[in-house]
Amino acid sequence: MVTVLKSSDLLAAVENPENIQVQDKPLTIAGRVFGSRLIIGTGKYKDYQQNADALAASGAEIVTVAMRRVNLSSPDEPMLVDFIDPKKIVFLPNTAGCFTGEDAVRTLRLAREAGGWSLVKLEVLSDPKHLYPDMTETMRAAEMLIKDGFDVMVYCSDDPVFARKLEDLGCVAIMPLGAPIGSGLGIQNKVNIRLIVEQTSVPVIVDAGVGTASEAAQAMELGCDAIITNTAIAEAADPIRMALAMKHAVIAGREAYLAGRMARKLYADPSSPLGGLI
């Protein structure tokens, strides 16, 4: 018997990709489970409203935030927490601007008091020109923070040796840079990112360097568990649209990684069979 499908049946299958059953473990960081594998920053936006709109478009459940002095001369100025609700979105306080372990620990203790949670992003920077992490100080700060009860997600160089040391210390996520912070240069060292992914049993999250959606997908195709991006969204001509693009890119990259790409070949291989030619 021949069944001819109506075009509406075909459309339904295409328009409802959720009907297709695919298995994936959710992103789990220090026992917390997340549906989205995209983490976005909250810096460099035109204003907090645009930031909140981009967040909604991105579907992210975690945002990175910084800790700074209150501007005492204008106590009424808009506050981030009035636009992004820390009860609904996980605030991941960073240590941006810290150049020593002590600075980082001090900042995150304040963040813990302000927010009441222990999940933090440690970044101890070196030279302002390239903002590469100072790995010796990062190691020292990570040790101090872990002893103090923090769950440390650590920004690090893409060096598999340091990545291993940080994991051994007890960091809950290893976050190598793809390229210098804010550069938008994409994943510069895919070999190292892949090596880190293969050796690490906690989540590996590319933090810094992603410039556009294809680069987010690339990080995910390498097997990263998530990505963090700030500037790529905030400095896009249309941040809301780029946030949406990043959402799709991270899903696409993850699915491609799970699917397993085809082997690369040196020569063409026809997709249509050669047998039965008329």
Partner 1 sequence: MNITLNGKASEITTELNVTELLNDLSLTPAKVAVERNLQIVPRSVYSKTIIQDGDRIEIVRFIGGG
**Is 164 among the residues that bind partner 1 (CB under 8 A)?**
no
**Is 251 among the residues that bind partner 1 (CB under 8 A)?**
no
**Is 211 among the residues that bind partner 1 (CB under 8 A)?**
no
Amino acid in position 87: K
Residues contacting residue 250 through CB under 8 Å, at least 6 positions apart:
36, 37, 38, 216, 217, 220, 226, 227
**Residue 154: closest CA among 210, 199, 203:** 203
Residue closer to partner 1 by CB (options 93, 160) is: 93
Q: Which of 31, 75, 270, 273 binds partner 1 (CB under 8 A)?
A: 75
**Is 130 among the residues that bind partner 1 (CB under 8 A)?**
no
**Is 80 among the residues that bind partner 1 (CB under 8 A)?**
yes
Q: Which of 9, 26, 28, 44 binds partner 1 (CB under 8 A)?
A: 44
Residue closer to partner 1 by CB (options 25, 69) is: 69
Distance spanning both ends of the chain, measured CA to CA? 27
* C-alpha pair distances (Å), 107 with each of 66, 96, 228: 9, 9, 20
Q: Which of 32, 36, 53, 66 binds partner 1 (CB under 8 A)?
A: 66
Contact region for partner 1 (CB under 8 A) — 27-35, 68-76, 141-149, 210-218? 68-76
Q: Which of 5, 6, 21, 76 binds partner 1 (CB under 8 A)?
A: 76
CA–CA distance, 252 with 230 (Å, rounded to integer): 19
Nearest-approach distance from CB 35 to partner 1, in angstroms:
22
CA–CA distance, 243 with 204 (Å, rounded to integer): 21
**Is 64 among the residues that bind partner 1 (CB under 8 A)?**
yes
**Residue 89: closest CA among 147, 150, 42:** 42
Nearest-approach distance from CB 230 to partner 1, in angstroms:
4
**Is 109 among the residues that bind partner 1 (CB under 8 A)?**
yes
CA–CA distance, 154 with 139 (Å, rounded to integer): 9
**Residue 213: closest CA among 68, 57, 11:** 57
Q: Which of 203, 231, 249, 250 binds partner 1 (CB under 8 A)?
A: 231
Q: Which residues are the active-site residues?
A: 121
Residues contacting residue 20 through CB under 8 Å, at least 6 positions apart:
none
Q: What is the DSSP letter of 133?
A: B
Q: Which of 18, 113, 127, 168 binds partner 1 (CB under 8 A)?
A: 113
CA angle 267/216/48 to nearest 5° reads 160
**Is 58 among the residues that bind partner 1 (CB under 8 A)?**
no
Classify 92 as helix, strand or coil. Answer: strand
**Is 243 among the residues that bind partner 1 (CB under 8 A)?**
no
Nearest-approach distance from CB 190 to partner 1, in angstroms:
22
**Which residues of the chain form contacts with partner 1 (CB under 8 A)?**
41-45, 48, 51, 64-70, 72, 75-76, 79-81, 86, 91, 93-94, 96, 106, 109-111, 113-115, 181-182, 208, 228, 230-231
